Amino acid sequence: MAHRKSAHRIAKARRVARYRQLAASSTGQTPQKLSWATLADLEAALTGRVVLPSDPDYNSARQESNPAFQSYPQAIVYCASEADVLECIRVAYEFDLWVALRSGGHSTAGYSVNDGLVIDL
């Protein structure tokens, strides 16, 4: 019997292909520090998933419990393993991105989001 991919793996493969297609078609610099090629590599390396400003669930993913704090991260990464966290830290270090970690709840003081990379544990 042939190996079947899960719906999660199929969706991940589609996101990686989309990012690679955007990387191939983009001719200029992106306003963000992360390029489409970097995002494609990050998504492919993760067990979890990356949420970008172009994704439909971005606004709910970036929103704090306190609406007074509005940040627009370049990427939100939902990590599923320790290796995902290490990969996110590597990318953040390589591209000099601010990192915000969140786990469980959200900070009422606005510390669990920023304009760089949000790592959701």
Domain range list for the chain:
7-120
Q: Which residues pair with 100 in a beta bridge?
A: 118
What confidence tens digit (pLDDT) does each residue in 46-90 have? 999 999 998 999 888 887 767 777 888 899 999 999 999 999 999
Which pTM does this prediction carry? 0.84
Statement: 7-120 belongs to CATH 3.40.50.2300: no
Q: Which residues pair with 101 in a beta bridge?
A: 119
Question: What does the alpha-carbon distance between residue 64 and residue 26 come to, in Å, rounded to a whole number?
Answer: 32
